Amino acid sequence: SQSYLHNVPLSYLKSIENGYKKTFLPKIIETTELLAYDANQALDFERVAEDIEYLKCEKGPWVEQDNVTYHHMRMLVEDKHAVAVLTHIPVFLPEVTIGAHDYDEKFYAYKSLPGKKYVAGYNADVGDKLIWLK
């Protein structure tokens, strides 16, 4: 149904797979536990669940966790609104937000540039012709 996905060269897909296996996986194994399955093994849900159950978390932030911190984490992730707030960008960021006076100054500076006063085709200052006939 998506024609742009049908003509992807096999060499491109192989390079993505090789980069994933040779670059990403070795780096992620250093900091976290990893379970890898092929397509047939992944369909065996009982085996995957059993592997997760027997997995010993010896890497990552889980080693430093105790029952109290697990409780706080669980309470946080159960509240969808609280998780969404963590991804929310505040309304006012001094580095990003500009005030009304700054905006006004920049807007009129932009509009004073040649060809920006009116819509394209209606600016005599950049050589548009026969404006009165349009």
Contacts of 87 (CB under 8 A, 6+ apart): none
pLDDT higher than 90, residue 14: yes
Instruction: Check if the beta carbon of residue 48 is closer than 8 Å to that of residue 38.
Output: no
Determine the pLDDT at residue 16.
92
Mean pLDDT (whole number) for 84-94: 73
Segments making up each domain of the chain, as ranges: 3-63, 100-133
Determine the pLDDT at residue 91.
67
Secondary-structure percent of the chain, ordered helix, strand, coil, rounded to 5: 60, 0, 40
What residue type is 20 in one-letter code? Y
Determine the pLDDT at residue 100.
79
